[in-house]
């Protein structure tokens, strides 16, 4: 008997801010996929008592720490998306921890395939190497802006500053094996996820 667990079949799910990654991932999860979400892992690391908080306080001081000991997300967002050096410093703390924890969760997965949701997947060789396929959730920039404004109350300049640090729509589409067109309704998104789910299940069985 071989006691080395086979590597799970991994689909990297990515898209620009507000493109609909979380909505797509939630549909995949409802259909039975295991979702490993790097945004959620980052939130856990920066919650009260989170594993990254001591290093963040040492690097940035107490002005970035909320009263409950968690990361002050609005303060950090304002800082990193207008100061490239601060962004590099925060990422140097968080990215190795996110990479390790997401690898651990992928290896522990028991579902037929894993959806590894990573906003910066196209920007990062180490995530691309882990994935059997890359699925991009795509919509025009004006819809990203509108949806993030509605969801988070950020203004257009703030969202544009974040988008400017991410891969372009063209670069993401060039890296895609599969594209989910999220330029219309949530119902249309759901239908595309259902048809990809059937393909990913079949591929995970026959690879």
Ligand X SMILES: Nc1ncnc2c1ncn2[C@@H]1O[C@H](COP(=O)(O)OP(=O)(O)OP(=O)(O)O)[C@@H](O)[C@H]1O
| Binding site residues, ligand X, CB under 6 A | 15, 17-23, 39, 119, 147, 151, 182, 185-186, 189
Of 7, 11, 19, 6, nearest to 197 by C-alpha is: 11
| Length of the chain as a residue count | 207
Q: Which does 147 bind (CB under 5 to 8 A by kind): ligand X, ligand COD, none?
A: ligand X
Q: With beta carbons less than 8 A apart as the criterion, state whether 193 and 180 touch.
A: yes
Residue 19 in marked binding region: yes
Q: Which does 158 bind (CB under 5 to 8 A by kind): ligand COD, ligand X, none?
A: none
The interface region with ligand COD, picked from 2-10, 112-120, 139-147, 187-195 by CB under 6 A, is 112-120
Taking the least distance from each CB to ligand COD, the nearer of 33 and 122 is: 122
Q: Which helix (H) or strand (E) segment is 55 a member of? A: helix 53-60
Q: With beta carbons less than 8 A apart as the criterion, state whether 11 and 127 touch.
A: no
Q: Under the criterion CB under 6 A, does residue 25 sit at the interface with ligand COD?
A: no
Q: Considering only residues 162 through 181, tell me which ones interact with ligand COD, judged by CB under 6 A.
A: 162, 165-166
The interface region with ligand COD, picked from 3-11, 28-36, 113-121, 180-188 by CB under 6 A, is 113-121
- Tell me how far apart the alpha carbons of residues 118 and 179 are, in angstroms, rounded to a whole number: 15
Q: With beta carbons less than 8 A apart as the criterion, state whether 80 and 90 touch.
A: yes
Q: With beta carbons less than 8 A apart as the criterion, state whether 189 and 20 touch.
A: yes
Which residues fall in the annotated binding site for ATP? 18-23
């Amino acid at each position: 008997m071989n006691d080395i667990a086979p590597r799970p079949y991994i689909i990297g799910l990515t898209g620009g801010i507000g493109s609909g990654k979380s909505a797509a991932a939630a549909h995949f999860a409802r259909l039975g996929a295991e979702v490993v979400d790097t945004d959620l892992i980052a939130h856990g690391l920066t919650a009260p008592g989170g594993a990254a908080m001591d290093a963040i306080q040492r690097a940035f001081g107490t002005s970035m720490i909320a009263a409950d000991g968690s990361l002050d997300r609005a303060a950090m967002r304002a800082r990193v998306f207008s100061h490239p050096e601060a962004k590099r410093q925060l990422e140097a703390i968080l990215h190795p921890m996110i990479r390790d924890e997401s690898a651990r969760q992928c290896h522990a997965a028991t579902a037929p395939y894993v959806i590894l949701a990573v906003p910066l997947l196209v920007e990062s060789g180490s995530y691309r190497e882990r994935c059997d396929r890359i699925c991009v959730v795509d919509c025009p920039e004006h819809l990203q802006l509108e949806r993030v404004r509605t969801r988070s109350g950020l203004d257009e300049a703030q969202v544009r500053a974040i988008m400017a640090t991410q891969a372009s729509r063209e670069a993401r589409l060039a890296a895609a094996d599969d594209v989910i067109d999220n330029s219309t309704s949530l119902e249309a998104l759901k239908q595309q996820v259902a048809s990809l789910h059937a393909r990913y299940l079949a591929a995970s069985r026959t690879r």
